[in-house]
Structure 1
Amino acid sequence: MARLPRLVVAGQLHLLVQRSHGASPVFLNDDDFTLYRRALIALAGEHGVAIHAYALIPEQVLLLATPSSSLSFSRMLQALGRRFGADYNRRHARTGVLWEGRFRCTVVDADAHLLDCIRYVESAPVRAALATTAVDYPWSSAAHHVGRLTDAAVTDHPSYWALGNTPFEREARHGRLLDDALPAALQQRIADASVKGWALGDASYVAALTELTKRRAAPLLRGRPSAQRTSDG
């Protein structure tokens, strides 16, 4: 069966995962993290991508972002691969690609799952045993969201403002959310959606997205069709 095209919808929230080639660590020192983040900021602006949360961990990059066009993500990541990759290979005296050829991506219902996905992204270093708490990891948006610093990479999603009427209220509530681990079932659902490319939302959201894009946004039901479905066909 032919693979469906990647589902990217302009103006919608997305969760992206870019994995390293062969699961080898890409970020080996602070310079690697710093230079990637600097290139990410520049190229996100150049290609019309608003980043709402991110985490850079040695074997992968996680982004929660909104594209201005259906090509914004692919163009941004291709440019990142060229700019960061060439410099990285020169500095580390190596050759070859750094990333898997195809990044993973899912469309997210922002009203239902914005905060879930921010927590999922910013908690990635904790899941990878790189930090004890999300806010202590220096290469994610967590410190920005709890008010420890202002991160030029981050553009708050409009729905994020529902966390509180003032920056202090939003920062305090965000910190409390990060202190509570996502339920295991929800964490697995987000992970599955990001890997498989199916939309993250309820049935009505998926149906509306399917109608908008004319592409399946959820897997087909398994098993033989029911008698009612057969007779209707």
Structure 2
Amino acid sequence: MNDEFVTPDRRPTAVGSAVALAFVLAGVAALTDDATELVPVAIEAACLLCVGGGRVLQGRGRSRTGRAAVFVGSLAQFLAVGAAASMPERLDEQVVLVVGLFGVALCLLGLYPLRRSQSRQFVNAGVGACLVSILVAGVLREASVLRLTVASAATLVGWNVGQQAVTLGRRVGRAAGTKRVEAVRTLANASVGAILVASVAVGNAVAPIQVPTLALTLFLATVIALLTSLLSLS
């Protein structure tokens, strides 16, 4: 009696990866001001859908079509970053979008990895780049505190969900039934972010928040640290 042992796929879970990328990209989108800046974000969204769809096709046995979709989506990342570097009129707008979309691309490399051992590092680096773009938006573009809080919350929720996808993939495998666990964790994370955003929105409505650059930087650092702590407990 010969039973073949099939090694589980230890890559990050599919659902968690998709949700994490959606949140991180939403964080970048929250920093845009007009339709021109949304075009690179829309291109990036199409890239993510193409890569994600390709991975699904590969998992269903359509390897050739899946690989083609992944290749096209990965190559189109350069188009998204190129659009971010050329379409906005101001240099500060270009910097925010280029750094933010580069961060999303790094997260994509971590959550749909070529080498599983590098998943967590790529996700951390990608989220770090997105947080840098948020700080740049606050310092150079003088974005509102509410907008910066929304972007920070979305980015950090995406980071937490992505880390969970990596952890679950390594522990139980990509094909395991983890959707319910991931849904509960995502809902808890999103609730924490929503409560913080709502608190800032209410405070801003009662007394509009106007802070100098240094104070804004410290505020963002505090928000990021607080969210990171809360999400690690949720």
Q: TM-score, normalised by structure 1?
A: 0.30
Greater helix share, structure number: 2
Where relative contact order (Cα < 8 A, 6+ residues apart) is larger, the structure is: 2
